[in-house]
Amino acid sequence: MSIRVLIAVSFLGVSSGCASSVTGDAGNEDARSQDAQAPSSDVGFDDARAELDAAPRTDAAPARTDASDPDASPDASDRDAGEVDSGLESDSGAALDAGGSCVDLTVFADGDGDGFGTSSQSMSACLLPGEQVAGYSREAGDCAGNDPWIHPGASEICGDFVDDDCAGAMTGAACPTTQAAVSAPAWDCSTGPAPNNVYAYALFSNGGGFFQDDGCFVFFEGLRDEFYVARKNVTAVNNSASCSTVNGCVCPSLNGWPSYDRRMYAFTLAGNTSDCPEIAINDNGNEAQPVSNACRKYLLQLHYYGLQIAYVGNSLATIDARLSLYPTVEVACAHDLPHNNLPYRTLMTAPVVRNPGFVKQ
């Protein structure tokens, strides 16, 4: 029962509180000497591990078992015998082996996993360097605890009128003035290989009866470290004169109301359309209102401004994170709040596909 004896010695040497720990080469050598003199036992290891799992967490990691024990491996047995399963995650195995002390910290609930927690939901935890509590963060300041894109220092989405970086400004990021100098790639997502400045694309093989089939959105690096999206062949099935008016002819309405396309947007989407809350606007002539939520992020306005190209991000890391979190492009008509006859409606969706031939400028 060598391991049971060693664990008992280690625990007796630790007082409660984070300030105390078992340190020093002499203490470790004595423990290892006792371990080496007793025969190893698989049954003893299981008993010791069961006792340790039932014991409260102490502030110091117990002394490690000797490497000469054939039943102990540095990668598995040492860690299993020296840790209590408490939902803690650690990147600091060296600190555990060295018998380092934990420190009392306040951690904050991080339900969206973006690395920042909400200050209104916190608890205390005694953590070693690099150790985390699952579902919590050491950093507070998240102003949207259910949105993985929104947190301090986040990249602002141009034109969505949402405070993405938790700085308190609801205007969203200003779109770059260099956009006028950008030319979209002459590629339709299906003819030949993608140009090497195309990072990704979304091909709508089925226009859903609202658009011609095989329209697409192309994500590309227009200028160095400036990524954009361009719409290609996103053409309405209805080609009547009404489609060229401000009200348009695509967005379906109820009870005989005419189409109203000023509420038509493209989003990047996380998950299923039915699981995501709808985007709703109040179309009173003021376009400066939020058009993103936790699972739908604004890409571009499709009708009123006639945009063909829209800015997406200022780095490869930004566009990669955006399309990883929100890997589907959705074309939809937002709910116009004053009018129940103008409901939210998804028109078509397509998955984002990365271009393996992309070359960074």
From CA 137, how far away is CA 297, in angstroms rounded? 24
Exposed, middle or buried: residue 177 (CB in 10 Å: 0-12, 13-18, 19+)? exposed
From CA 47, how far away is CA 275, in angstroms rounded? 47
Rounded to 5°, the CA angle 265-271-275 comes to: 85
Are residues 243 and 249 in contact, defined by beta-carbon separation less than 8 angstroms? yes
Q: Tell me the HSE value of 205 on the side-chain side, using a 13 A CA sphere.
A: 3
Rounded to 5°, the CA angle 13-123-121 comes to: 170
Q: Give pLDDT, residue 12.
A: 36
Q: Which residue, among 198, 159, 146, 246, has the nearest Cα to 352 in the 3D structure?
A: 198
The DSSP code for 338 is T
Q: Residue 54: in which H helix or E strand, if any?
A: helix 42-54
Q: CB atoms < 10 A from the CB of 255, how many? A: 6
Contacts of 14 (CB under 8 A, 6+ apart): 20, 21, 22, 58, 59, 60
pLDDT in tens, the chain (361 residues): 433 333 333 333 333 343 333 334 444 444 444 444 444 444 443 443 444 344 444 444 444 444 444 444 444 444 444 444 455 655 444 444 455 799 999 998 888 898 898 888 999 999 999 899 999 999 888 888 899 999 998 999 988 999 999 988 766 566 777 777 888 899 999 999 999 999 999 999 999 999 999 999 999 999 999 999 999 999 999 988 888 887 889 999 999 999 999 899 999 999 999 999 999 998 765 667 899 999 999 999 887 666 788 999 999 999 999 999 999 999 999 999 888 999 999 999 999 999 999 999 9
Beta strand 215-223 with 198-204: parallel, antiparallel or unpaired?
antiparallel
Are residues 65 and 5 in contact, defined by beta-carbon separation less than 8 angstroms? no
Q: Model pTM greater than 0.75?
A: no
Burial 47-69 (b: 16+ CB within 10 A, else e): ebbeebeeeeebbbbbbbbbeeb
Q: Give pLDDT, residue 283.
A: 74
Q: Give pLDDT, residue 38.
A: 43
Enumerate the β-bridge partners of residue 88: 133
